[in-house]
Structure formats: C-alpha cells, structure tokens
Amino acid sequence: MSELAQVLRPLLPMHDPRALVDVSTGDDAAVYLLDSDNSALPGGRALVVTLDFFTPMVDDALDFGRIAAANALSDIYAMGARPLFALNLLGFPRKLLHEGLVEDIMRGGAEVTQQAGIAVLGGHSIDDPEPKYGLVVVGEVARDQLITIASARAGDRLVLTKALGTGIITTALKNDVAEPAVVEAAIGSMTKLNASASEAMQTIGVHAATDVTGFGLLGHLRNLLRASGCAATIDAASVPMLPGALELARQGEVPGGSHRNLTDLADDVTWADQVDEATRLLLCDAQTSGGLLISVAADRCDALCAELTRRGDGATVIGTVADPPSSGGTGHISVS
C-alpha cells in the first residue's frame, strides 16, 4: 500500500465541486455529480466509475473472465450504486488468438455482466505477452444514497459478507497443491456478485463500506478508519475463512502481496499473542473479488445481518469501530 501511495502521489485531486470522490480519498470508485435538481434522484444524480483488470489466477479461461468481471463490478456495489454499462479491457498474446481462450474469457465476463443486468458496449484490446482482462464499469447513485469509506463512527459494528482466503488458495492452485473442492469454493466466492449485499446496505442504511480486494481485510479496514478518523477492534476467531485456506497458509502457500500487506500494516495493527502467523496472513491476504466490509450502527446491525442472510449473502460481525487512542492512532486496529 505504501508503494502504491508513492506511485499515486503525482495524481493531484481535481478542484471541481462536482467531483464528489476523487483519487485523494482512497475510495473504491470515482464519483461525479451530474445534476442537483433531478426529482427522481434526491440530492442529485451522480456517476460512479471504476476500472479493474488483472492476470489469470485460475486455470479455466471462462472462470477467469467471470471472476474479473465480478471483481470490477464490486467497486460500484461497494458505494451503494447501480451499474449501468461496462467496457472490456483485454491484453492477450496475438499468437494465441486462435486457441479459443479469448472467446472463453469474454464469454465468462458476459455471463457476469448479464447477471448484473448490464450490457458491455465496447472496449479495447492490445497485443500483450501476458493475458489480462477486466472491465471499466459506469454506474449511478443518488447523491444522498452514496456510501463511501469516510463516515464510519465509533460504536459501529463491522460486518463482512464473504470469507477470506482467495489469494492463498489461488497461490496453492498455481503450485498444484490445492484440493479441487477448495478451489471450487474459492471460485464460487470470487464469482458471486456483491449486488444483493449492496441492496441490503441501501435497504437498512449503513455508515460506510468498502470491498475487500488487494490490500486484504485489514488494509482496506485501515483505509476506512483513516478516512473516518477512527480505530477498530477485530475478533480474529469470528472472521470467516474459506475451506482449506488456513491449512494452506500454514503450509506456506501465501502470495507475495499478502506478505507485503502484513509488513505494511506493522505500525497500525496490534496483534494479541494468541493470533498465530497463519491467521495474521489470512487477515492480510490479498483478495480477488472479495466481499463487502460494512460499518453499520449498532442498533441496525441485527437488521442488516438479517437482510443479508435473507438475500443469500454472508453476514458475520467481526469487530467494532472505536475512537482513536488519545495519543493519535487514527486507522489503528487491535486484533484479538
């Protein structure tokens, strides 16, 4: 995360009153206000725009396309927005174009965008020695329904909608040591849209949210806490983990990104002695198409969990937002 901050430093925020969310906030997507007098969308209609793409993390091209599309859509859902349409982003070796792999990747992406109820209206491709695929996604939200990372409050409960471990399991898959059932569960998690979880947030009303991806659970939580001026406590034993993930972590099947996340968080996380190294790595595991991490008022937590469960999503209370220590510590996380 610190390395990325160095890269993004030259990208100065735009001083545009319509830019509700820009690069300065560390949020999931850019948000731009289109108008402020649309009676159908109280507070004004805003566009929510994101893009995401990456290299394959699974063997099957169709699954890769499905995962990449679900991952890109997740940023829209994390902000409580509704996707409108998407554009394909593809890098692929020209010499392999006749293998049928590109068609499978695109078909996988199309399956997920159709599930999301949107069309892919175009895109761009380049000759690339390493395959890459993802989407630009454009969505919309009423300004007064926008959910960002900046409004968590002390006393809020933290709710997680998907289990952790996709980074560790896909690393084990690359090393041919992951059991088929373990891989299947991970793929099922990565291809599940966060659409219904986003709708649950809007139905109940929450303070803040983010999706859990490359910075891992604790990295994305730290972003949320810093933006909100808060700290948090996490109960490690309550955090859901995908089948086989903890065992694989103990065997050393951990991606480099997860190790870097753990190192980057060293000054901001206090670990209880009983939290072992494998669990620490899982809490920092670089996720692909992870769940939503939601900060909700304590008196609405039960209602949110019930609504998530009714819609078929995960709903695990993993911790509490707190005031920062008097000596500072905004963004600090205590894990017991």
Are 206 and 312 found together in one domain?
A: yes
How many angstroms separate the CA atoms of 109 and 120, rounded? 9
Task: Indicate the residue among 145, 180, 205 that finishes a domain.
Answer: 145
How many angstroms separate the CA atoms of 5 and 82, rounded? 29
CB contact at 8 A, 190 and 59: no
- Domain assignment present for residue 152? The answer is no
pLDDT of 21-39, one tens digit each? 777 767 778 999 987 655 4
CATH of the domain at 66: 3.30.1330.10
Please give the backbone phi and psi of residue 164, each rounded to the nearest 5 degrees, phi first. Answer: -90, 160
Domain encompassing residue 250: 157-335
How many angstroms separate the CA atoms of 63 and 312, rounded? 21
CB contact at 8 A, 182 and 165: no
Render each residue's pLDDT in the chain as its tens digit; 336 residues. 555 454 445 555 557 777 887 777 677 789 999 876 554 555 688 999 999 999 999 999 999 999 999 999 999 999 999 999 999 999 999 999 888 899 999 999 999 999 999 999 999 999 999 999 999 999 999 999 999 999 999 999 999 999 999 999 999 999 999 999 999 999 999 999 999 999 999 999 999 999 999 999 999 999 999 999 999 999 999 999 999 999 999 999 999 999 999 999 999 999 999 999 999 999 999 999 999 999 999 999 999 999 999 999 999 999 999 999 876 679 999 999
Pairing of strands 208-211, 292-296: antiparallel
pLDDT score for 19: 81
How many angstroms separate the CA atoms of 155 and 223, rounded? 18
Are 112 and 238 found together in one domain?
A: no
Distances in Å between the alpha carbon of 62 and those of 56, 96, 108, 181? Answer: 11, 16, 5, 18
Are 180 and 237 found together in one domain?
A: yes
- Number of Cβ atoms within 10 Å of the Cβ of 36: 13
pLDDT score for 23: 72
How many angstroms separate the CA atoms of 244 and 258, rounded? 17
User: pTM higher than 0.95, yes or no?
Assistant: no
DSSP for 275-288, written as a single string: S-HHHHHHHT---S
Are 141 and 161 found together in one domain?
A: no
CATH of the domain at 251: 3.90.650.10
Are 254 and 314 found together in one domain?
A: yes
Are 169 and 85 found together in one domain?
A: no
How many angstroms separate the CA atoms of 16 and 63, rounded? 40
Task: Indicate the residue among 145, 175, 201 that finishes a domain.
Answer: 145
pLDDT score for 1: 52
pLDDT score for 135: 98
- Number of Cβ atoms within 10 Å of the Cβ of 97: 13
pLDDT score for 25: 67
pLDDT score for 247: 98
pLDDT score for 10: 55
How many angstroms separate the CA atoms of 306 and 311, rounded? 9
Q: CA torsion sign, 213 to 285 to 199 to 35?
A: negative
How many angstroms separate the CA atoms of 332 and 309, rounded? 30
Task: Indicate the residue among 112, 145, 178 that finishes a domain.
Answer: 145
Residues in the chain, overall count: 336
Total structural domains in the chain?
2
Both structure tokens of 90: 């593809």
Amino acid at 287: Q
Task: Tell me which residue of 205, 333, 182, 257 sits closest to 4, measured CA to CA.
Answer: 257
Are 76 and 134 found together in one domain?
A: yes
